């Protein structure tokens, strides 16, 4: 499936492809189009993280959170990662402290002069590591994670 978003990726537009490739569509192909694209005219593929799309920002939620909800991804570590992405990509009322570091990393990658696909290739490792740490943090905080919901976890990290 083709997944389509804006070019010049940073936080959410790197986190979403990582999430999609690992948990939604392992064969995903990502297309990065100019910001002035008429997104309503795209008929083939799934549009994400652009204005007025289903898999975009909604209130304080970022596109990563929208994908978690649409595809019913309730892994507590992914929910925690979503809170970090939200803090890095927007200005939520109660940001996760790790968000600022993720924002710095994303902006640093954008300064390297790499293509969007090169950034994905390199930053997926960052998200793999961050997801691993989220799993560790969830295990420490919620040792019986199979018995709690993603909403319980989200309410404790906000």
Q: What is the pLDDT along the chain (158 residues), one digit of tens a residue?
A: 999 999 999 999 999 999 999 999 999 999 999 999 999 999 999 999 999 999 999 999 999 999 999 999 999 999 999 999 999 999 899 999 999 999 999 999 999 999 999 999 999 999 999 999 999 999 988 666 554 555 555 555 54
User: Bridge-partner residues for 2, per DSSP?
Assistant: 29
Nearest to 106 by CA among 92, 78, 126, 91: 126
- Looking at residue 102, its pLDDT comes to 97
User: Residue 91: what pLDDT?
Assistant: 87
3-class secondary-structure state, position 58: strand
Burial grade of 145 (CB within 10 A; 0-12, 13-18, 19 or more):
middle
CA distances in angstroms from 79 to 86, 105, 121, listed in the order given: 10, 20, 23
For residue 141, what pLDDT is reported? 82
Q: H or E segment at 152?
A: helix 150-157
- Whether the predicted model's global pTM rises above the 0.85 cut: yes
Write down the mean pLDDT value for the chain. Answer: 91
Q: What is the pLDDT of residue 58?
A: 93
Query: How far apart, in whole angstroms, are the C-alpha atoms of residue 51 and residue 73?
Result: 23
Using CA atoms, how far apart are residues 19 and 43, in angstroms rounded to an integer?
22
Spell 61-76 as b/e; 16+ CB within 10 A means b: bbbbbbbbeeeebebb
pLDDT for residue 158: 47
The pLDDT value given to residue 37: 95
């Amino acid at each position: 499936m083709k997944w389509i978003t804006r070019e010049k990726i940073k936080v959410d537009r790197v986190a979403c492809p990582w999430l999609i490739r690992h948990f939604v569509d392992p064969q995903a192909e990502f297309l990065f189009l100019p910001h002035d694209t008429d997104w309503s005219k795209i008929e083939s593929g799934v549009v994400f993280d652009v204005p007025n799309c289903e898999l975009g920002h909604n209130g304080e939620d970022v596109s990563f959170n929208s994908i978690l909800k649409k595809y019913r991804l309730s892994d507590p570590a992914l929910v925690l990662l979503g809170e970090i992405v939200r803090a890095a990509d927007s200005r939520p009322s109660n940001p996760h402290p790790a968000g600022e570091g993720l924002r710095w990393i994303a902006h640093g990658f954008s300064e390297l002069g790499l293509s969007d696909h090169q950034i994905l290739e390199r930053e997926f490792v960052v998200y793999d590591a961050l997801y691993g740490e989220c799993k560790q943090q969830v295990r420490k905080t919620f040792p019986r994670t199979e018995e709690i919901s993603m909403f319980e976890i989200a309410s404790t990290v906000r």
